[in-house]
Chains A and B, each alone.
Chain A
Amino acid sequence: MRYLPLTQADRREMLGVIGAKSVDDLFRDVPERARRDGFVDLPRRQGELEVERALTKMAAKNVSADSVPFFIGGGAYRHHVPSVVDHLIQRSEFLTSYTPYQPEITQGTLQYLFEFQTQVALLTGMDVANASMYDGSTACAEAVLMAHRVTKRKKAVLSGTLHPHYRAVVENLCEAGGDPVEALAPALPGKTEDIIARIADDTSCVVVQTPSYFGELIDLRAIADAAHAKGALLIAVVPEIVSLGLVTPPGEMGADIVVGEGQSIGNGLNFGGPYVGLFATRTKYVRQMPGRLCGQTVDAEGKRGFVLTLSTREQHIRREKATSNICTNSGLCALAFTIHLSLLGEDGFKRLARINHANAVKLGSALSGVAGVELLNDAFFNEFTIRLPKSATAVVDALADKGVLGGLPASRLIPGNATLDNLLIVASTEINTDQDRADFVAALKEVL
């Protein structure tokens, strides 16, 4: 078998050194009841060619985003990733390297993590960032737990701007810890949510997403002030990190913790994962941060180097007193993020953001020109919500039959709420062309 180097001659010789007659001897501690002859009931080994054929056939049953006009967002966004990124992350020394616990021989990994942390802090307008988390939703839940530790309170208030999956993940994690969560109703664009009234003396944190699930840009300043007045923290959630190339970052609006999804930079859609969670906060809270942290130091010769640090917060040392049970970060996805952002640079990143917004504005304008379609948002980045004259789910289904992936029905993630049935959340990034927009409008007219 191509991945197994031992030959029969090797095995015989090694058994001789070990002093065992056969490999079965080495499994003698397995209880009788659990021993089985033969092989598990699954197909036998295959060569590369056969595996390729089978998986290519399976993949071909999917409609890939590059093959049709594509307008779906909802927390994962299709952007163009330059060729250099995928090429670099496939280098052996990045792809097949282990966690940098031996810093002397992993300065490559540690240095890019330090660069990543700096980039995330700069984008979010915060002091420090960690070396990434699994994704935006788990970063959000971990931020809530961190707020509980900092404020020594237990109650989280979740804005109706929050992505429904993120809300569910927070609720699940808080329920495990016995901590109460107050989640507001979905915050439709055009209506100001009265979240400030819900902040009380027992509130540990307020969680607000911008751009919201419905694409609306939210002013966090008043919410931050109100939270701070009651001794609570503001956690800002950014699902589309490219927005920070054009929009005021939460760090400048009073956020205490900023979490986000970094998938938009360097990472493809991948049907939901792997993604890369971003987590940033103020210096004073650094010892309460979950996840890995990379820090600068010097070696025995006085040369600058980098190491994982503040590890005593983590599970392998604190065990039951750890800040969380996290073991991995999103390593290679964080590298892809860092490389892509390095290619973009200050000017490129800002221009990319402007292109995204411009495309969304043009699309919004074109769609609201269709009879019966109403654009709900006042201020948005690259995603907005339109109200249709009929069920958004039915419309999206029909659009798919016409070869257009035209957005996300709001009710898909918030079922059982009739007010959302006709709402369609539409995203547009730099990948969309004039032709895409024209195709979408034409198909929508036919379907309505």
Chain B
Amino acid sequence: MSGMNNQGRPTAAGEASSGSFETYTGNKGLRLEEPLIFELDNPGATGVDLDEPEGYEPKLGAFEREARIGLPGMSEPDVMRHYVRLSRKNYSIDAGLYPLGSCTMKHNPRLNEKMARLPGFADVHPLQPQKTVQGALELMDTLAHWLKELTGMPAVAMSPKAGAHGELCGMMAIRAALVARGEGDKRTRILVPESAHGTNPATAALLQYKVDAIPATADGRVDLAAFKAKLGPDVAAIMLTNPNTCGLFERDIIEIADAVHEAGAYFYCDGANFNAIVGRVRPGDLGVDAMHINLHKTFSTPHGGGGPGAGPVVLSEALAPFAPLPYVVHGADGFRLVETEGEAKADGSHPFGRMVAFHGQMGMFVRAMAYMMSHGSDGLKQVAEDAVLNANYVLASLKDYLSAPFEGPCMHEALFDDRFLKGTGVETLDFAKAMIDEGYHPMTMYFPLVVHGALLIEPTETESKHTLDQFIGTLKHLAQAAKGNDKSRFTGAPHFAPRHRLDETLAARNPVLRWQAETPKQAAE
């Protein structure tokens, strides 16, 4: 014979081992431990090549920084490796379902990223002469048009940088309108449902309003009678979420809006749940005066690990004159950005002020625009319908295994509570952490506060039936297992994540919010 390979390398699978030993590195195969950049300092190393400047006399006055800053040195390969290794400890929507209620964790299209990086959008300065950025202003104006059409509202403030920022903007517009009417001092109370997201009362408090909570009925909606009883000439506004935080459409919403307007107050709508109705129902038709829209929820801009977001606010005829600076106007000679009070007054507007430097989250505008153009009005209507269908499918499939406080149908999210865990010794938190071991990010827990141990599930429209079936099967299994004998599966969860449960008490009692270099004395000890 020729070509004999006598290396003797085994090729059969062999026996599995229990794999419960400690490795030298602490790594376990592809599961890697990674230090902080400050612990990887390679003094003198750098990841950029810059030439030392010559031929100039510094004009720094007495301000030259002398001491070391303390930044670590790393080469490009080391930086790449560090952040790639960190990334692999993260769950993400690209990798799995996020059933997070009211977060609308839908797929983030990559076309959006490509469009946002076009130099004509990404590499323009907000303060260039306006004639050199007509395309940027056109995009802002076009997006504004789509938002107005989708919501049936005549005006939109584009500058808020996030949903909560948009809430603040909308409430400031309401306050400005009341002050203009001479009723600023008289109207000091805001009505907010008990089930509201925490940003609502926080925003009201920032504006010195008193927050008055409206109770819910047994079927999870605003108690209309209780609400009407609370109305009075000292009420500035109501802040409602619709669909509400229990995932239910407020049936009486038009009656509520009419009553609010009759009382001389305004209707702020938290648009966090717009995904349930986009393209099908227009908030303008419901009597809304101001509504913020989370572009990072309904309009797919990526969550980026916590931001950036964008929160443009659509405004009614009554509030439009008070929209903050800046805003875009489309005239005969093109697009114009109105940036100053003087220019606004000439237009007949009375902006209440400015929310932020420059013009708003252009990067998120481009992404949202690409998303909207891709879907079109027909696609967006389908988005709402599929989102609602998916949530109802989850509710119908699980209501006999978990416990649902409200009889369906729901809108885009399904609410459960912890009655199904009663007597099992497993809490909502433990149940959620056990989902991590099954490969899922937990759903929203303990919110809204109106039910005990809430579990709020919003699948969104970008989940396939197959994914939902797997998810449903998993929750059924876990609900069953919770009633069994092995509590540690839940109370010790997660067992398989890069970290086990973390000590949040310690983190809050002894806050360590940065890395510190050891002093030589500490090192010696």
Contact = CB atoms under 8 A, between A and B. Distances in A.
Interface magnitude class on chain B = 35 or more
Interface stretch (B2-10, B11-19, B222-230, B364-372): B364-372
Interface string B472-504: 000000000000000000001010011111111
A328 B307 contact: yes
Nearest to B106: A3
A150 B34 CA distance: 38
Interface string A283-316: 0001000001111111111010111011010111
A419 to B, nearest CB: 17
A4 interface: yes
A309 B506 CA distance: 10
Contact of A4 (B47, B165, B461, B508): B461
The SS class assigned to the B binding surface is: loop
B389 A97 contact: no
A345 B74 contact: yes
B199 A274 contact: no
A405 B128 contact: yes
A180 interface: no
Interface string B109-122: 10101110111111
Nearest to A91: B87
Nearest to B278: A40
B132 interface: yes
A78 B134 CA distance: 20
A42 B149 contact: yes
Nearest to A57: B135
B373 A17 contact: no
Interface stretch (A109-117, A196-204, A223-231): A109-117
Nearest to B385: A23
A391 interface: no
B349 interface: no
Given A34-B286, A62-B120, A62-B133, A55 B370 contact: yes
B76 A131 contact: no
A51 B63 contact: no
B120 A61 contact: yes
A211 B122 CA distance: 25
A361 B126 CA distance: 24
B383 interface: yes
Interface stretch (B52-60, B260-268, B314-322, B417-425): B52-60
B42 to A, nearest CB: 8
B374 A6 contact: no
Contacts of B56: 357-358, 361-362
A11 B389 contact: yes
A418 interface: no
B336 interface: no
Given A6-B461, A326-B164, A65 B73 contact: no
Given A297-B502, A301-B500, A6 B161 contact: no
Contacts of A309: 504, 507-508, 511, 513
Q: Which of A63, A314, A341 has the most CB of B within 10 A?
A: A63
Contacts of B305: 94, 97-100, 106, 108-109, 112, 331-332, 335
A348 interface: yes
Contact of A319 (B47, B202, B383, B514): B202
A98 B342 contact: no
Nearest to A210: B63
Interface magnitude class on chain A = 35 or more
Q: Which of B70, B198, B382 has the most CB of A within 10 A?
A: B198
Contacts of A339: 79, 83
A273 B363 contact: yes
Contact of A381 (B60, B114, B127, B150): B60
B155 to A, nearest CB: 17
A165 to B, nearest CB: 4
A2 B379 CA distance: 10
B165 A104 contact: no
Contact of B388 (A27, A175, A333): A27
Given A82-B47, A296-B507, A1 B74 contact: no
A246 B60 contact: yes
Contacts of B508: 295, 309-310, 312
Contact of B362 (A104, A176, A272, A352): A272
Contact of A99 (B120, B303, B462): B303
Contacts of A70: 125
Contacts of A298: 502-503, 506
A1 B375 contact: yes
Interface in A315-359: 315-322, 324-335, 339, 341-352, 354-355, 357-359
27 contacts: A1-B379, A23-B385, A23-B389, A42-B146, A45-B376, A52-B111, A55-B373, A58-B138, A64-B120, A66-B119, A74-B127, A75-B357, A78-B125, A95-B113, A134-B165, A135-B357, A168-B353, A176-B206, A271-B362, A273-B364, A320-B211, A328-B162, A328-B164, A342-B37, A345-B71, A355-B50, A377-B59
Given A84-B79, A247-B65, A269-B124, 8 more contacts: A52-B114, A78-B123, A93-B88, A165-B354, A270-B121, A342-B72, A345-B47, A349-B71
Q: Ordered nearest first, which 10 A-B pairs have the shortest CB separation?
A: A59-B120, A379-B61, A61-B135, A332-B304, A272-B358, A343-B47, A172-B353, A358-B53, A274-B308, A272-B126
